[in-house]
Structure 1
Amino acid sequence: MPFEINNEFIENLESLIERRDDQVIIDLFAEEHTADIAEIIDELSNDDATYLFRLLDSEKTAEALLDIDEDDRARILSKLSEKEIAEHIDELDTDDAADLIGSLSNERQNIVLSNIEDGDHAKDIAELLQYDEDTAGGLMAKELVKVNENWTVPNCVRKMRSQAQEVTRVHSIYVVDNKNVLKGRLSLKDLLVAPASATISEISIPKVDFVNVNDKAEEVARIMQKYDLEAIPVVDSENHLLGRITIDDIVDVIKEEAEKDYQMAAGLTDDVEADDSIIDLTKARLPWLVLGLFGGTAAASIMGGFDEALKNYPELFFFTPLIAAMAGNVGVQSSAIIVQGLAKDNLRGSLLNRMFKEISLALVNGVFLALIVFSLGLLLKYPMKVCSTISISLIIVIIIASLVGTFVPLILHKKGIDPAVATGPFITTCNDIFGIFIFFTIAKLILGF
């Protein structure tokens, strides 16, 4: 049964902490998962959370520290000494340790690293801190199992046993030469059935997927997703094996990217959460709201230029929101499909073919919807000319909105701008303005005002 936090549990824990009933607290957390510990800590005050961290075994709290909200983690780390942080770092893999230390000031980073007892562990962490966090180097861990292509099977097994003690989970066995150049991978089954006299080069698999240390995190995620990999080795420009990235790190990247794209599509410029301050939420929302305000003002100005049309044909006024809404909806649908295709890297064919496809699709949808609107107009006893104007405008607006929604993300992507920005208020506002302008322009041509 999954663990659930309730007020009674938290109140009891706070009471135990206040009485400093340490042994009862230790027993209470003896069987708890680190993710549950992190959830509990999020419910405690900073002082109580810090006390709990100092009391419990660092092997438990180290993993929990990674799952805590970033702001809460920063506050807890600020209350822990550099030596206490180093004790937690000692329990973590190098990639997680680098993420944790990376949130500290440079001065505290150096002090923490100097307090880590395992010198090699500290050296590996310091190396990882040099890479940008959004690259393969920033994601990779140094812990892995690698074997030399010249080793014999018995020697390889002996060396692997020694290495495996430092690795939490062995996903793959990598084969290197004497210069640490990645040469392939080793199947555990092939190793077990191979004769003792065989060398690793004779039984290894030369084909191995890998990424460069400077590759973007999104590219790493795409490759691992495409080939369904649990782990992937990381190499430098000369193919020297530097580390490996596991699927749990990639899941975090995909989750963060999805959250960012979702917020951009909703018109949020910064990464925010519901519990953030009013100032932070306002800063994230206001820019797109301002864009919408200017867009609405522009649309109103366009309508103001056709005031004579609205006097002579008031029916046009009632269909203006429909035209604007359809333009925005079609644009968002088209851009969402393109952005998804760019994220998955599965867009195929030329731009010309894509343009014809979008026009065809928009034409089919536009005609179908236009027939509905035309029939509705006749039922409401609007003049035939007005019904035709609205229907023709709707078809053209849908085609234009579809093209804008398709090509704006492609252009943004080509310019190095996140195309997810095109799925939100940006594309909606643009298409609203285009839609209203096209609507009244066509109305002027047909109705002759």
Structure 2
Amino acid sequence: MEFKITKDLILELEQHIVNKNDKELEALLNDMHHADIAEVLDKLDFEEATYIFKVLDSEKTAEILLELEDDLRENILSRLSAKEIAEELDELDTNDAADIIAELSQDLKAEVISELQDVEHAKDIVDLLRYDEDTAGGLMGKELVKVNENWNVLTCVKEMRIQAENVSRVHSIYVVDDENRLKGRLSLKDLLTTSTKTHISDVYIRKLNWVKVDDKDVEVARIMQKYDLEAIPVVDELGRLVGRITIDDIVDVIKEEAEKDYQLAAGITQDVETDDSILELTKARLPWLLIGMVIEVIASFVLKDNENAFRRYSTLIIFVPLLSATAGNIGVQASAIVVQGLANGSLKEFSRVYFSKEIAVAMISGSIISLLLLGYHSIMYQQYLVGLAISISMVVVILFAATLGTLVPLFLHKNKIDPAIATGPFITTANDIFGIILYFAVAKMILGF
């Protein structure tokens, strides 16, 4: 059953805080999942959240830290000493600890690292801090189980027992050589059914997916999604095993990428949250609004240049909004499918087959819309030639919008630009100006104004 925060729960917590009933607070919260506690803390004011955080033991609060909203986590950490922060980090996996340390000031960062009790844990965290956060190195954790290809099964099992003490979940058993170069993986079934004297080199599986430390996080996510992997090993420039990335870290990457693409599609130029300041929200939204304004001003000049056509054929102006809206929708639909294909790997580059398919869809859709439009115009206005001009213009504009919506994301992707930009205002505004130009060009050819 999904956890839900109730008013009674919040009131009970607030009452315990006022009365400093620490034992009651612990009893109430200890059975909750750390993600649920984080959700509760976000509903309390800062002082109350900090009080509860200090009441609970570090084994619990370390996991809670990872789930808190950025602002609340920053505020709570600001109230903790370097030693108290280090106690929290000693309970976390290296990659999670490195993520939290990266948020601290340079001076506090060094102080916290010096307070870490486990020297090896501290070394691993420092090693992870040198990688960019959007790379495999920045995502990976150091906790894993590895065995040497020259060991026999008995030695392997003994070593695995020692290593597993520091690993919360054993997804895979990796095999390395004497230089720590990744060679493959070991099946648990083979390990259990093989003679204890058998060498690992005789039974390990050589086929293995892996990534390099400088691979981008989105590429790692694509590989893990494609092959349904729960974890993937990470190697350095020499092929040495340096860490692993687990599915929970990749889910965060996929979520962040989806949020970024959604915002780009909506014409928001930088990552923003609902609790950001008015200035930050304005700065993120205004650029595309200004670009759209400029393009629409240009479109108004096109309309002005065709004033004579409006006087002779007044219904031409009536259908401009319909044409713009339809072209915008067709373009956004086409670009959205291409961006989706690029994201999931089903479309890697320009494909004549897919392009032909998209044009065919646009042609069929445009023809149906145009026939309906022709019928409506003929019934309402009895201007058959004008209706024909509008209908043919609609088909041309729809074909153009589909072409633009298909090719622009592919062009951006080829030039290492996020193609999600092309799924929103870019396509809509571009189709507005070019659609109107095409509309009057076709109408002029048919009507001769």
Is the shorter-chain TM-score for this pair beyond 0.5, marking a shared fold?
yes
Aligned counterpart, 2:284: 284
- Residue 31 of structure 1 corresponds to 31
CA distance in 2, matches of 1:251, 1:354: 29
Write the letter of the residue equivalent to 1:341: G
Q: Secondary structure at the match of 2:319?
A: helix
- Structure 2 alignment gaps of length 5 or more: none
Q: Which residue pairs with 1:253 in the alignment?
A: 253
Q: Tell me the equivalent position of 2:356.
A: 356
Once residues 24 and 196 of structure 2 are traced to their aligned partners in structure 1, the CA distance between those partners, rounded to angstroms, is 54
Distance (Å, rounded) in 1 between the aligned partners of 2:327 and 2:429: 9
Q: Hey, what's the Cα distance between the residues in 1 that align with 2:436 and 2:268? A: 25
Q: Is 1:152 paired with 2:158?
A: no
Q: Which amino acid aligns with 2:35?
A: A
How far off its partner does 1:442 sit?
A: 1.3
Deviates more, 1:2-11 or 1:196-205: 2-11
Partner residue in 1 for 2:75: 75
Match of 1:14 in 2: 14
Q: Give the CA deviation at 1:216.
A: 0.2
In the alignment, the residues of structure 1 paired with residue 241 and residue 397 of structure 2 have an alpha-carbon distance, to the nearest angstrom, of 54
User: 1:338 — aligned with what?
Assistant: 338
What per-residue deviation string (whole Å, max 9, x for no partner) do you get for residues 113-157 of structure 1? Answer: 000000000110010010000000000000000000111111110
Q: Which amino acid counterpart does residue 178 of structure 1 have in structure 2?
A: D
Residue type of the alignment partner of 1:87 = E
Q: Does 1:400 align with 2:408?
A: no
Given the two structures, how large is their TM-score scaled by the length of structure 2?
A: 0.98
Match of 2:437 in 1: 437
In structure 2, the residue matched to 1:181 is 181
What per-residue deviation string (whole Å, max 9, x for no partner) do you get for residues 224-255 of structure 1?
Answer: 01111000000012110000000010011001
Equivalent position of 2:96 in the other structure: 96
SS at match of 1:326: helix
- Tell me the residue number matched to 2:139: 139
Conserved? CA contact 1:50–1:80, under 8 Å:
no
* Identical counterparts, % of pairs: 56
Partner AA of 1:338 in structure 2:
V
Shift of 1:107: 1.2
- Whether contact under 8 Å (1:394, 1:439) holds in the other structure is yes
Inter-partner Cα distance in structure 2 for 1:355 and 1:228: 29
Q: Which residue of 1 aligns with 2:267?
A: 267
8 Å contact from structure 2 (residues 341, 348) kept in 1:
no
* 3-state SS of paired residue (1:244): strand
| 1:273 Cα deviation after fit | 2.3
Looking at structure 2, the residues matched to 226 and 396 of structure 1 have their Cα atoms a distance apart, in angstroms, of 38
Which whole-Å CA distance do the structure 2 matches of 1:195 and 1:27 have between them? 49
- What secondary structure sits across from 1:238 in the alignment? coil
Per-residue Cα deviation, 1:272-326 (whole angstroms, up to 9, x for no partner): 2223222222122111211221222121111011011111111011100011111
1:418-437 to structure 2, matched below 5 A, reads 418-437=418-437
Q: Which residue of 2 aligns with 1:109?
A: 109
Q: Which amino acid aligns with 2:191?
A: L
Q: Structure 1 CA distance, aligned partners of 2:267 and 2:422?
A: 10
How far apart, in 2, do the equivalents of 1:351 and 1:210 lie?
Answer: 28
The one-letter code of the counterpart of 1:46 is F
Please, which runs of 5 or more residues in structure 1 have no aligned partner?
none
Distance in 2, Cα, partners of 1:246 & 1:153: 26
Cα contact 1:408–1:422 (8 A) shared by 2: yes
Aligned-partner SS, 1:380: helix
Larger displacement relative to structure 2 (284-293 or 230-239): 284-293
Partner of 2:204: 204
> What per-residue deviation string (whole Å, max 9, x for no partner) do you get for residues 159-192 of structure 1?
0000000000000000001110001100011000
Q: Which moved more, 1:439-448 or 1:324-333?
A: 439-448
Tell me the distance in 2 between the aligned counterparts of 1:317 and 1:235.
62
Deviation track 1:180-238 (CA, whole Å, cap 9, x = no partner) reads 00011000110001011101111111111100010000000000011110000000121
Task: State the shift of 1:351 in Å.
Answer: 4.2
| One-letter code aligned to 2:374 | F
Query: Structure 1-normalised TM-score?
Result: 0.98
Amino acid at match of 1:399: L
Write the distance in 2 (CA, Å) between the matches of 1:155 and 1:366.
70
Cα deviation code 1:346-403 (max 9, x no counterpart): 1167544444333322222211111111111111133111111111100100111111
CA contact (8 A) 1:315 1:382 kept: no
The answer as to 2:66 corresponding to 1:50 is no
RMSD, matched Cα: 1.2
The one-letter amino acid paired with 1:377 is H
Specify the alignment match of 2:306 in structure 1: 306
CA distance in 2, matches of 1:299, 1:401: 16
2:73 corresponds to which letter in structure 1? R
After TM superposition, give the deviation of residue 330 of structure 1 in Å. 0.6
